[in-house]
Amino acid sequence: MGSVISPLRDNIIYVGEWQLNISLQAINDGVHARELEPLLFKLLCYFIEHNERIISRQELADNIWQQSYVDDNAINRAISELRKALKSEKQPGQSIKTHYRKGYSLFIPVSSNKTETVTTEQQNQHESSSEVAAAESSSHSHPKRNVNWSWSIPAILIATLICFFWFFSDKPAASSETRQTMPFLALDADTISWHKGSYSHLLLPPDKSKLAYLLTPLKQNDIMNIYVMDLKTKKEFLVDSGDAYIQGWSDDGLRLFYVKCKPGDYSQCQQWQASDFFSETIKKSPLSYPYSSGDKLTQYTEVGDTAIFRRNHYRGLSQLFALYAYDKKTAEEIRITSPNITGTGDYLLTTLSNPERIIFERHNTGQAEIYMANLDGSSMKLLTTNNYRSWAATYDEPSNSLIWYNRANSTIESFSFDSMTRAHAIKAPVKDANYAYPLNKESLLISTDLHDLDASVFDLKTQEMSYIATANKHENSAVALANGDVYFADTYYDKREHWLKTNNQYIPISDRVGTDNIIVSANENSTRLLSFNKHTHQLSLLDATDFKTIKQWQIPGRIVLAKIRKNRIAVIYADATTLQNQLMLLNTDNTETVISTIDTPLAIAWRNDHQLIVHAKHTQFLELDSQTNRYHELPMPDKLTAIKPSIVTMASNEQTLFIATSADIYSAALEELMEVNTLIKMKPSNYILHLNAQNEKLAISFVTANNQNSIELYTEKRPSN
């Protein structure tokens, strides 16, 4: 974040008696110096930018929280906290004025120079008395407004730029890093645990002295063994077995928390804690905190007398997780984070002591933000933003920094608490990892990857599934073509090869498609393909017989998915400026380009040659007319409404709409859309990524988990003597 705002580091805005330091996000009145938490900083920036008018609650929800609906209490609380922050002996009066049933306005003057500070009332009086003279002195003067623009333009530009970059920047590394060679760390690998099974849910305590993990033995998918390893001796200790999963460590690393359920019955679960791992008998006891079996408590830790945990169903969405705090002395529970509904919510990374803090990652669509906050959620501060999810991070005391591993780029990343900026990334290649924990900036602990990409084709007539999986390929983006042929990509992190399966033979076609291109869908008779370039954001229409380009379009952002029907193409892309999903309509017969006003489309499927079904964020399902760009809400059966929050992707052929969650595929007749049937239930540990429907074939791309893997420790390679 520091690199984003460094060009404006020394800019000061005067707000009443306060100096707002843009780069530090802090205010100072000469007596008190206060650092503003991110939400209050955003709010104050917005009031400065629009200080000449009343701002409605809905406008705040749209622009500050970036949600169509925000609980009134959340807005009230934020306004109240900003008023408290702006109150002092030198600024005792009202700072934010409430306008009944209208909204709020900034009630103290704003200036880029202290000597130019003028109240709104003084501006109005001055403009009223000089309006006639001004009109006579210049026949080309602009109409008067109740703002002195001579001083407010610099201040507003500063605030606008800062708020803009604050909201939308996703550059993960400090800008200075591009000006020098990235440090390289050569590592040696040591396998410290290997059994016949799948390792998952690796978890380090804050002191990094031990490691907890789950081991699922092969051929025993209903048994999960919880182990703790002493990282000094590499000895393993079996804690418990059964239908169990790990939740977290206590802040001192002495106790491990986990949940154990009756086999196959997740309504009968109990939280446990274990300690004394290295003694003859491990101590285990039920946890006193009341566990709610209706929700998923996937994380739980205790910091002193406060329990911090992660629970789903925030704002009624089963996939949206928020963080909560529970006071063990008073038995009081409060929600301490408020994630956006455009992602899966908040994930606890680690805790700090002296002072006590939590570090968590907020998973949004297309990016992840790392925050630090007090145990009650106060003083929340955005540390950095990534275009990937780290899932694991540790605190490194010698460098006073938070460190994590970027598996896509094979780099150790860090955030310095001394400078409050990103440090230079360190290139540290290791095996492909499922979990990756830096123990420090010279060593990494990983579980090797247990995932694989696979694809299959479901015949809608025979109801038979055929798999195209091969031992040495990672199949993705499958498309069923004519004559039984299947296109798929062999995807391995950033590497991509293109293949055609025909008559049980695998034919490489990367030289014709291009390794930087991604084929995403085909038209209804499989004669045309859509592909896009992941670097240039160029969308291409290809001939399915020879893969030659027929037509191309430049898309203003990262392409998420695209669907074609006859001469119509619908494209969902992440806008390069706002990072929000947008829907674009193209015509293969002309240069027509239309942008839909649908807010945050997530999945699309053609209903016929002109109508498009859109699964959007804030509403039920919509039907968009591609000719008029008008849309309306579709009536949907209860079953489809119930699975809406869990929908991953959609597809359609001439007769049927196919809707997929991660584990199931449903079908509904396109004409009525009222009867929804379960079509396919995926195998355990298979999770759907994409669907493509052509004629009577449904191509399914999915990820397979629980492959055999191991735990490896990477340390800096020492020169040989």
Q: Is residue 20 part of a domain?
A: yes
Q: Which residues contact 442 (CB under 8 A, 6 or more apart)?
A: 185, 715, 716
Examine residue 331 and state whether it is found in any structural domain, yes or no: no
Taking each helix axis as running N to C, give the angle between helix 38-49 and helix 72-85, from 0 to 180 degrees, rounded to the nearest 10: 80
Q: Which of 294, 320, 341 is the last residue of a domain?
A: 294
* pLDDT for res 2: 30
> What local confidence, expressed as pLDDT, does residue 605 receive?
96
In this structure, the answer to whether residues 147 and 18 fall within a common structural domain is yes
Name the DSSP class of 196: S
pLDDT at residue 123 in the model:
39
Of 102-111, 187-196, 454-463, 556-565, the range with the lowest mean pLDDT is 102-111
Identity of the highest mean pLDDT range in 162-176, 286-300, 321-335? 321-335
What sign for the dihedral angle of Cα 189, 191, 192, 198? positive
Least confident of 37-51, 393-407, 660-674: 37-51
Q: Give the lowest-confidence range in 211-215, 217-221, 578-582, 707-711.
A: 217-221
Tell whether 164 and 224 lie within a shared domain: no
Under the banding of pLDDT at 50, 70 and 90, the label for residue 11 is low
CB 218 within 8 A of CB 170: no
pLDDT score, position 25: 82
Query: 22 and 146: one domain?
Result: yes
Share of the chain above pLDDT 70, in %: 85
Query: Average of pLDDT values for 508-514?
Result: 91
Would you say residue 441 has pLDDT above 80?
yes
Secondary structure of residue 204 in the 3-state scheme: coil
Per the structure, the complete domain to which residue 642 belongs is given by 452-704
Nearest to 508 by CA among 529, 487, 526: 487
For residues 375 and 303, the answer to whether their CB atoms sit within 8 Å is yes
Of 250, 238, 249, 246, give the one whose Cα is nearest residue 277: 238
Confidence of residue 639 (pLDDT cuts 50, 70, 90): confident
Residue 72 pLDDT greater than 90, yes or no:
no
CATH number, domain with residue 46: 1.10.10.10
pTM of the model: 0.60
Q: Over the range 662-677, which residues count as b (16 or more CB within 10 Å of their CB) and which as e?
A: bbbbbbbebeebeebe
For residue 534, the model assigns a pLDDT of: 82
| 211 part of a folded domain | yes
* DSSP assignment letter at 288: S
Whether 693 maps to a domain, the answer reads: yes
200 within some domain: no
- Report residue 493's pLDDT band, with 50, 70 and 90 as the boundaries: low
- Quote the percentage of the chain above a pLDDT of 90: 49
pLDDT above 50: residue 55: yes
Among 137-146, 205-214, 265-274, 705-714, the range with the most confident prediction by mean pLDDT is 205-214
Asked whether residue 229 falls in the same domain as residue 161, the answer is: no
pLDDT score for 221:
62
Are 656 and 532 members of one domain? yes
One domain for residues 164 and 209:
no
Question: What confidence score (pLDDT) does residue 370 get?
Answer: 96
pLDDT confidence of residue 515: 86
pLDDT(259) > 60: yes
Is residue 585 domain-shared with residue 682, that is, in the same domain? yes
State whether 89 and 210 are in the same domain.
no
Based on the domain organization, do 211 and 152 belong to the same domain? no
- Residue 199, domain member (yes or no): no
Phi, psi of 666 (to 5 degrees): -115, 155
Domain finish residue from 264, 294, 324: 294
Q: Is there a single domain that holds both residue 467 and residue 550? A: yes
pLDDT of the residue at 539: 96
Domain tally, the chain: 3
Residues 10 and 99 in one domain: yes
Confidence of residue 298 (pLDDT cuts 50, 70, 90): confident
Give the chain's mean pLDDT: 83
Predicted pLDDT of residue 138: 33
Is position 57 within any domain? yes
The DSSP symbol for 1 reads -
Whether 374 has a pLDDT exceeding 60, the answer reads: yes
Tell which of 294, 316, 338 closes a domain: 294
Residues 678 and 610 in one domain: yes
Distances (CA, A) of 165 to 22, 153, 158, 556: 12, 18, 11, 18
Dihedral sign, CA of 369, 516, 527, 628? positive
Q: Would you place residue 222 in the very low, low, confident or very high pLDDT band (cuts 50, 70, 90)?
A: low
Cβ atoms of residues 130 and 84 within 8 Å: no
Lowest mean pLDDT among 108-112, 281-285, 446-450: 108-112
Tell me, what's the pLDDT at 303? Answer: 94
Report if residue 344 sits inside a domain. Answer: no
Q: What does the alpha-carbon distance between residue 295 and residue 318 come to, in Å, rounded to a whole number?
A: 8
* CATH classification at residue 519: 2.130.10.10
Q: Measured in Å, how far apart are the chain's first and last C-alpha atoms? A: 43
Please give the average per-residue pLDDT across 31-40, as a whole number.
86
Residues 6 or more apart in contact with residue 133 via CB below 8 angstroms: none
To which residue do tokens 């002193």 refer?
304
Residue 150 has pLDDT above 90, yes or no: no
